[in-house]
Chain A
Amino acid sequence: MGASIAFEGVSHRFERRGIPVLAEVGGQVAPGETVALIGRSGCGKSTLLHILAGLIRPSAGVVRIDGRPVTGPSSKWNLMFQQPSLYPWMTAAENAALGLTFAGARRGKAETARRTLGLVGLEDEADANVQTLSGGQQQRVALARSLATEPDVLLLDEPFSSLDAFTRAALQDEVVRVTGRLGLTVLLVTHDIEEAAVMADRVLVMGDRPGRIRAELPISLPRPRDRGSPAVLAVRNTIMRQFETSLCLRAA
């Protein structure tokens, strides 16, 4: 089941006296909710996601998942990256099972990995050399690897941006289906407005230099959503307008 995410006063600068990347960012994600964080490249959205995952320690601020402060990576949440970065010396199933290996699992590891690959439609490729899989299949294996430890929270860092349009759409639907079925809390970082319109319950618009959340927009459409439907296109336009307005506000 999903867990809540809460972050408060999160500020970050990479060098001691450098320009802040994030300034006093705060927000909440409810259990089972899917939130999209959109913004231009370099606005700090990816840094915020790394901080939420415990991979970067923020200069200031706290992150709580399920009420407990995040101090490092955990099998309770997982960050999925833009590139699949599979381990080429492992089969698809061994890749998917790595989190379980790290957690010290001995029994049932292979079955869990296979079951998770089945969840993303790759049961037939369990023993495949991952170097022979297509880009979309590799990203599915990476998704299975993220899901195998049964996390409560899935953090997605532009995970579809290196895929072609058709594969991207198929994987977006797949993630909506799987995370909906497992009831996971999802925080999706993207610069693709359609992606946010198709996947999210709520969109946070982030401005840059320093990164701050400028606007918030709920989307109350049922999922799965049809990309071409007037409702989704309307949401797209609203996000786009909201995006432009919040950037103009900053310029003024």
Chain B
Amino acid sequence: MTADVEAIATGPGALERFLARAAKSAARRAWLPLAGILTLLGLWWLGGVLIAANPDTTSFAGFAPVPALAALTDILLGGGLWDMAGPSLSRIGFGLAWAAAVGIPIGVAVGRYAAFRRASHTPFQFLRMISPLAWMPIAVLAFATWDAAIVFLIAAAAIWPIIFATANGLRRIDPQWLKVARNLGGHEIQVLRHVVFPAIAQDMLTGIRLALGVAWIVLVPAEYLGVTSGLGYSINDARDTLEYDRLAAIVVLIGAIGFLLDGLCVLAIKRVNWRRAD
């Protein structure tokens, strides 16, 4: 048996066969995702063709992939990317930071104290179902700047997944871990820092990942109002100046940046995951 394996591993042409097999398996893994991307591009292209063919919509032909990707290249090469995305990313960053700063302690309280969980259940579920954009007029009144109002709206959207994921993680903690920590003389704060937070880090980051998804969606409509920077503003601006190729390019950019940020969250979740892979 072992001899067979060695013969295959070291026999003539073994390296070639190994490489061929590796390439084959890589191709097998890659072709489905690739097919998905190509289908999306194909549908986009088809949409572009239909828009161009219809006399009523032919002036929107800039939405098609070719002009849009050309405009995207212009944005990327012309250095306009950071001017557009920078303010948006900063708003998302502050919004998420506020949501985490307020949401994680609330989530710990919900997960840890049954009385608080029961008392807060209905109000939280009720508030959660209100679109953050419904707070827009109040936010504009309450905050001195448009920027602060947008950060508030993002935080209002992002806080719920963070609260619920944190609370959920806390409820899944092995109660024995807390007992052992108390038995070792750990005080409440020490137990939080050394046991509870490491135990639920993955759940908290999963909450932040979900929160980022919601926040990224709320960001664009929130930036339609008031401010003169950011991705949402740029979309509105492109519409007003009838630059539909540019508009489509920004749509692609919004998707790409969101995809990238989500990927960063996945990496961070993998990093704090202490469960063994097997």
Q: A residues within 8 Å of B by Cβ?
A: 53, 55, 73-75, 78-79, 81, 83, 85, 87-90, 98-99, 101-103, 129, 131-132, 145, 149
| A101 closest partner in B (C-beta) | B194
Q: What are the residues of chain B within 8 A of A75 when measuring CB–CB?
A: 184-185
CA of A233 to CA of B274 in the docked complex: distance in angstroms? 46
Task: For A55, give its contact among B182, B186, B190 (CB under 8 Å).
Answer: B182
Report if A73-B195 is in contact (Cβ < 8 Å); known contacts: A81-B176, A101-B190, A129-B276.
no
Task: For A85, give its contact among B180, B185, B194 (CB under 8 Å).
Answer: B180
Task: For A102, give its contact among B179, B186, B198, B199 (CB under 8 Å).
Answer: B186
From residue B232, how far is it (CB to closest CB) to chain A in Å? Answer: 39
From residue B197, how far is it (CB to closest CB) to chain A in Å? Answer: 10
A103 touches B275 (CB 8 A): no
Report if A73-B176 is in contact (Cβ < 8 Å); known contacts: A87-B198, A88-B274, A101-B190.
no
A98 touches B181 (CB 8 A): yes
Q: What are the residues of chain B within 8 A of A88 when measuring CB–CB?
A: 274-276
Shortest Cβ-Cβ A-B pairs, 10 listed = A89-B274, A99-B184, A85-B176, A102-B186, A131-B276, A89-B198, A102-B185, A75-B185, A88-B274, A85-B180
Total residue contacts A-B, CB cutoff 8 A: 57
A102 touches B190 (CB 8 A): yes
Interface size range on B against A: 20 to 34
CA of A53 to CA of B198 in the docked complex: distance in angstroms? 26
CA of A26 to CA of B187 in the docked complex: distance in angstroms? 30
B276 touches A73 (CB 8 A): no
Q: What are the residues of chain B within 8 A of A87 when measuring CB–CB?
A: 177, 195, 198-199
A74 touches B185 (CB 8 A): yes
B274 touches A102 (CB 8 A): no
| B193 closest partner in A (C-beta) | A101
Q: What are the residues of chain B within 8 A of A103 when measuring CB–CB?
A: 185
| B178 closest partner in A (C-beta) | A85
Interface set, chain B 165-183, CB cutoff 8 A to A: 174, 176-177, 179-183
CA of A87 to CA of B174 in the docked complex: distance in angstroms? 10
> 6 A-B residue contacts at CB 8 Å?
A85-B176, A85-B177, A87-B195, A89-B199, A99-B184, A102-B190
